[in-house]
A and B are shown apart, each in its own frame.
Chain A
């Protein structure tokens, strides 16, 4: 601000040095320059914030990304599975088939309901010799061809309760 190396004497007060400098236009201009100087960093800050209006990163939203991904996967898998429309479309056909077919008789002994006519019929058949289990109890007996027939286990006296 000062050109000299030390503050020098003032012989005249500044306003008497150059009286023409003071005028209303200068004052008006200076007023706005002063306002600008005061507020310049506020304006710069507003400009910076204007370019950064996106809301800051939210951890909740970031954690939610994984949840949404899982949810989308599940929905997609469910959609790829049998859809209800297809089931609804196939149902009348299958139902008609089922209704028109007679139930087939059951053959395998383990599927037979105890006490039913089929079970009693099976029981009345001659007992087939059971498959040899390799039990050593009949040691010293004659060869299997002449094995005495094992008695069939008698069916239970009363039909088993369902």
Chain B
């Protein structure tokens, strides 16, 4: 090792520490408030799920009527947990990958509070009976400008950091995260502008709403998840990403295909016929970017001959990648026009698909990132590897139950719906067991996340363990990072 390299290594460590210190407050704020909203969302999910098989549960309370509690669950999951986890992780990743300290922590924190306020008011609006009636956009109309403004105030600094050190070489994570940062306002302004501020044909408004739902998943949450995985996998295994070509292919195929997807949920509606079927084709084709990225990163992880390091972040990333592969299969299986599309179109399979994407893929990657990032910004280690195991295994059980239950149950429900000679009561009977599975699975997920909340709260209160060795899932010795990896 030359003296230049060791001097560079020392300044490297100093640089990283500086970046982490500058980001401590914004990132911890987003992660903890996101986790709080996750708790709220899971509770609302349990209530909603119980009401599907047991409608008399808590039916005296108008604020918890199914028609209000379910949209509240979905919107808090997406805007309360999903976006805030994304913010926390993306501002840290972009800062680290650009080697820039965060100079706008105050602005970001303020904007984060505004975001939380908008989500809170929106959720209260939904539960109070002022929902807009548009799936995934049920916050009353006042919420979206506040969300947009605080979004811009949070992520624009990461854009600047990236630009300022655009030294000609960028890493694949940066493409995904930058693209997600840019795509979201495009999608959000288009959908909210056309649905809240313009008058048009009612059926086309419904079509834009389903396009928005799909675009939010595939043009924001999935790219953030993949970008995070592309960062964490090489970092944690010390192996390089094997194929730059596959990385490019995965990214650009997502960019080209994903904006066309979404309208297959309205097949058979009085719309121009090409719209839903183009959406079905695009969604099925999305299996290509998903599988490409997942396989590329999995090859990174499994390319080492040594045993996998027992890093919690790696476990969560691996599980998230399995989720991505399952999502890729579901993209094709659910959307074949002429066979499965008519079955899954109006069934719980749609909900299962969305939860698989938001929890099974995105949230697992975010958990992995949280377990990686928080020790670095708080300078403490996680206290209990058992808590992390509990969080991991029960979340995995839960999401597998929901995903398989809802996807399979959706097909059964769809077949029952299509059996026109049978009375409608048969469909209700057939769905009931899958709703019960869903309730049980959400309870398991809540149980797993209690460990996460407690653990995260303790780290936030600087109660973590001090020490040089990271907390691993079997407390074995740490494996030092080797070889090429993303810088910082």
Chains A and B touch (C-beta atoms under 8 A apart): yes
State which of B8-16, B122-130, B453-461 sits at the interface with chain A: B8-16
B100 touches A31 (CB 8 A): no
Among B197, B484, B488, the residue within 8 A (CB) of A9 is: B484
Given A15-B100, A22-B164, A34-B159, A49:B12 Cβ within 8 A: no
Number of A-B pairs, beta carbon distance below 8 Å = 111
Query: Is there an interface contact between B164 and A27, defined as CB atoms closer than 8 Å?
Result: yes
Residues of B within 8 A of A56 (CB): 199-201
Q: For the complex, is B165 an interface residue (Cβ under 8 Å from A)?
A: yes
Partner of B189, one of A2, A31, A37, A45: A45
Contact A22 B199, beta carbon cutoff 8 Å = no
Contact B170 A13 (CB under 8 A): no
Query: Does A75 sit within 8 A of B, measured CB to CB?
Result: no
Q: Are B12 and A42 in contact (CB under 8 A)?
A: no
- Write the nearest CB–CB distance from A148 to chain B, whole angstroms: 92
Contacts A5-B245, A7-B240, A56-B199; A18 near B167 (Cβ below 8 A): yes
Out of B5, B167, B488, which one reaches A11, CB within 8 Å? B5
Partner of B190, one of A26, A31, A45: A45
Which residues in A have their C-beta under 8 angstroms from that of B186?
38, 40-42
Q: How many residues of B contact A (CB 8 A)?
A: 46
In the complex formed, the residue of B with least CB distance to A42 is B189
- Asked if B462 lies at the interface with its beta carbon under 8 angstroms from chain A, I say no
CB-based contact B11/A16 at 8 Å: yes
Alpha-carbon separation in the docked complex, A33 to B160 (Å): 9
Q: How far is the CB of B397 from chain A (nearest CB, A)?
A: 35
Contacts of B240 in A (CB 8 A): 6-7
Tell me the smallest distance from the CB of B195 to a CB of chain A, in Å: 12
Contacts A12-B8, A30-B163, A31-B160 given; does A37 touch B243 at CB 8 Å: no
Contact with A along B26-44 (1 / 0, CB 8 A): 0000000000000000000
Q: How far is the CA of A39 from the CA of B200 in the complex (A)?
A: 22
Q: Known: A5-B244, A7-B171, A13-B487. Contact between A30 and B190, CB under 8 A?
A: no
Provide the residues of chain A in CB contact with B486, threshold 8 Å.
7
Contact A34 B156 (CB under 8 A): yes
Q: Which residues of B lie under 8 Å from residue A42 when comparing CB positions?
A: 185-186, 189-190, 193
Per-residue CB contact flags for chain A residues 15-37 toward chain B (1 = under 8 Å, else 0) read 11110011000110011011101
CB-defined contacts of B171 to chain A, threshold 8 Å: 2, 7
Most interface-central of A4, A8, A18, A42 (chain B CB within 10 A): A42
Contacts of A5 on B, CB cut-off 8 Å?
A: 244-245
CB-defined contacts of B174 to chain A, threshold 8 Å: 1
Among A2, A12, A14, max chain B CB count under 10 A is at A14
Whether, in the assembled complex, B98 has its beta carbon less than 8 Å from a beta carbon of chain A, the answer is yes
- Given A13-B12, A38-B152: A21 and B159 interface contact (C-beta under 8 Å): no
CA distance A14 to B174 in the complex (A): 14
Q: Is B175 an interface residue (CB 8 A)?
A: yes
Partner of B8, one of A9, A16, A30: A16
Determine whether the beta carbon of B182 is less than 8 Å from that of A37.
Answer: yes
A30 and B185 within 8 A (CB): no
C-alpha spacing A5/B245, complex, angstroms = 7
Q: Is B307 an interface residue (CB 8 A)?
A: no
State how many angstroms separate the Cβ of B16 from the closest Cβ of chain A: 9
Chain A residues near B100: list those with CB within 8 A: 15, 22
Name the one of A7, A26, A49 contacting B164, with C-beta atoms under 8 angstroms: A26
CB pair A6–B8 under 8 Å, yes or no, is: no
A10 CB within 8 Å of chain B: yes
Whether the Cβ atoms of A14 and B99 lie closer than 8 Å is yes
Name B220-248 residues within 8 Å CB distance of A.
240-245
Residues of B within 8 A of A9 (CB): 484
Q: When chains A and B are docked, how far (Å) is the Cα of A88 from the Cα of B486?
A: 101
Q: Does B61 belong to the interface (CB within 8 Å)? A: no
| Alpha-carbon distance A38/B15, docked complex (angstroms) | 30
CA distance A31 to B159 in the complex (A): 8
Q: Is the CB of A31 within 8 A of B156?
A: yes
How distant is the Cα of A42 from the Cα of B189 in the complex, in angstroms? 6
Chain B residues numbered 180-198 whose CB sits less than 8 Å from any CB in chain A? 181-182, 185-186, 189-190, 193-194, 197-198
A127 at interface (Cβ–Cβ under 8 A)? no
Which residues does chain B contribute within 8 Å of A123, judged by CB atoms? none
A30 touches B164 (CB 8 A): yes
Cross-chain contact of A14 among B5, B169, B185, B193 (Cβ < 8 A): B169
Q: Which residue of B lies closest to A37 (CB)?
A: B182
Bound-state Cα–Cα, A47 to B170, Å: 34
In the bound assembly, the distance between CA atoms of A4 and B160 in angstroms comes to 25
User: Among the listed B5, B156, B167, B243, which residue makes an inter-chain contact with A17, where contact means beta carbons less than 8 Å apart?
Assistant: B167
> Are B189 and A7 interface neighbours, CB within 8 A?
no
A152 at the interface (CB under 8 A from B): no
Interchain nearest-CB distance for B230 vs A (Å): 10
Once the chains are docked, how many angstroms separate the CA of A14 from the CA of B170?
10
Q: Is the CB of B170 within 8 A of A21?
A: no
Can you name 12 extra interface pairs (CB under 8 A) apart from A10-B169, A45-B189?
A2-B169, A6-B241, A7-B171, A10-B487, A13-B11, A13-B99, A13-B488, A18-B167, A34-B159, A34-B160, A37-B159, A46-B193
Q: Could you name 7 residue pairs across A and B whose Cβ atoms are closer than 8 Å?
A: A2-B171, A7-B241, A13-B15, A15-B99, A16-B8, A21-B165, A56-B200
Q: Which residues of B approach A to under 8 Å, CB–CB?
A: 5, 8, 11-12, 15, 98-100, 152, 156, 159-160, 163-167, 169-172, 174-175, 181-182, 185-186, 189-190, 193-194, 197-201, 240-245, 484, 486-488
Closest 6 CB pairs of A and B: A42-B189, A34-B159, A38-B185, A10-B487, A14-B167, A41-B186
